[in-house]
Amino acid sequence: MTTLAAPTHLRENPFRIAQDQLDRVAEAFAIDQNLVNVLRQCKKAVVVSIPVVMDDGLIRTFDGYRVTHNIARGPSKGGIRYHPDVTLDEVKSLAMWMTWKCALMNIPFGGAKGGVVCDPKRLSQAELQKMTRRYTSEIINEIGPEKDIPAPDVGTDPAVMAWIFDTYSMNKGHSVLGVVTGKPLNVGGSLGRLEATSRGALYCIREALRKQSRPMADTAFAIQGFGNVGSFLAKFLAEEGARVVAVSDSRGGVYDANGLDVSAVLAHKQETGSLEGLRGVDSVTNEELLLVDCDVLAPCALEQVITSDNADRIKAKIICEGANGPTTPAADDILEDRGVLVLPDILANAGGVVVSYFEWVQGLQEYFWKENEVNARLNDIMTRAFNETWHTYEQRGTSMRLSAYGIAVQRVAEATMTRGLYP
């Protein structure tokens, strides 16, 4: 029997960053310190061991987590991440950010997150399914449609959600559609959910450019991360007439100052599983992509890629955070001093949780919407949240991040005050 240990790519403790962000918001918006003391901590963190019989007959154990940050505004909601660098503090920070994200979107959820320390790319489909089902069994008392609703995140997809849904339902004795979101369409998923995070980011970018009286056409974009979020964002931007000059996946990226043929890039990625080997373009590393000449940079991969080491060399004038926590606080200060407009994660990538909310509602009602209805309602919520954040940004003369977090934290604080502390 072997146990996997997790390396870490994180330069700074992400939960401490999340707590520091909360402290800055509390000071700027004069939030009662007693409430801050409650909101700085996660309500619950569960650590589980996941033994799995591998294809070669050996038993390997994986560490798994499920964290609930806050439920003042409703049941907790948050993705499950499969990645070799997952840590408990990372999951706690992501759970806290999810609380603020749901509050900023004004949907009735609190924040949660889950993770398993593994490399899903190195697991067979059978191993992945067995690990997922055992992980679900270990956290089964923590999740439920009125309690805590998981969803996909880095390294997980609709197939993983289907296994969680089935495992939970088998234990309950009947199908429970609302236990997870991001499911395949044929088992209660929602139209538009797969592309929702990218579509929400597109709506935010569109509004930001409109505020600056800039056209989408020929605006140059660089996208770090070419998974679900980055690939769909590139596709949508190309359809809008934007010029996507660089994209990258975990192995590296491609660059063309005149604009990439996004359809060809998508086809190559689909055929080979990588961006490597694409002809007629220049190769760039993930680090180099962040510094290419572009108008808008969209980090859509992992946390802490924009730091004090590279923030002063970023050429983009707008950063759209498709990933959670891609910018460190020190980098934030540098970017703000340089006049770079940062569309923060809890705003820019909230499209996924908004349509997850739609899927949850549809599952509870067992009545499903048309895709144009889903996208129209997503547009309404994202645009409203953007404009509320922009209004605070202009009114207070502060950053978009502080404005977004300020709105969100105040809503959660007000809900906490209204409910009171038990007992």
Examine residue 419 and state whether it is found in any structural domain, yes or no: no
Examine residue 413 and state whether it is found in any structural domain, yes or no: no
Res 11: pLDDT: 79
Q: Tell me: do 67 and 170 sit in the same domain.
A: yes
Mean per-residue pLDDT, 404-417: 97
Q: Tell me: do 224 and 325 sit in the same domain.
A: yes
Task: Tell whether the model's pLDDT for residue 4 goes beyond 80.
Answer: no
DSSP 54-122: -TTS-EEEEEEEEEEEE-TTSSEEEEEEEETT--HHHHHHHHHHHHHHHHHHT-S-EEEEEEEES-GGG
Residue found by looking up tokens 């801050």 in the block = 36
Examine residue 380 and state whether it is found in any structural domain, yes or no: no
Task: Tell whether the model's pLDDT for residue 179 goes beyond 60.
Answer: yes
Q: Tell me: do 175 and 74 sit in the same domain.
A: yes
CATH number at residue 75: 3.40.50.10860
- Catalytic residue flag (residue 113): yes
Q: Tell me: do 220 and 79 sit in the same domain.
A: no
CATH number at residue 241: 3.40.50.720
In the set 77, 92, 101, 113, the catalytic residue is: 113
Q: Tell me: do 179 and 207 sit in the same domain.
A: no
Tokens matching residue 280: 């007629």
Length of the chain measured in residues: 423
> What is the span of the domain harbouring residue 215?
196-348
DSSP 287-342: HHHTTSS-SEEEE-S-SS-B-TTTGGG---SEEE--SSS-B-HHHHHHHHHTTPEE
Q: Tell me: do 122 and 247 sit in the same domain.
A: no
Which is more confidently placed, 217 or 49? 49
Q: Tell me: do 116 and 28 sit in the same domain.
A: yes
Q: Tell me: do 271 and 306 sit in the same domain.
A: yes
Examine residue 314 and state whether it is found in any structural domain, yes or no: yes
Boundary of a domain, candidates 187, 207, 241: 187
Boundary of a domain, candidates 169, 187, 205: 187
The closest of 392, 391, 357, 347 to 377, measured between CA atoms, is: 357
Boundary of a domain, candidates 348, 367, 391: 348
- The structural domain count of the chain equals 2
Q: Tell me: do 162 and 283 sit in the same domain.
A: no
Q: Tell me: do 21 and 164 sit in the same domain.
A: yes
Other Cβ atoms closer than 10 A to 256: 16
Q: Tell me: do 61 and 209 sit in the same domain.
A: no
Handedness of CA 121, 125, 126, 128 (dihedral sign): positive
Say what the pTM is.
Answer: 0.94
Task: Tell whether the model's pLDDT for residue 1 goes beyond 60.
Answer: no
Measured between alpha carbons, how far is 37 from 196 in angstroms, rounded to an integer? 34
Which is more confidently placed, 308 or 302? 308
Examine residue 416 and state whether it is found in any structural domain, yes or no: no
DSSP one-letter code for 5: P
Tokens matching residue 281: 């373009």
Task: Tell whether the model's pLDDT for residue 5 goes beyond 70.
Answer: no
Q: Tell me: do 21 and 150 sit in the same domain.
A: yes
Res 371: pLDDT: 97
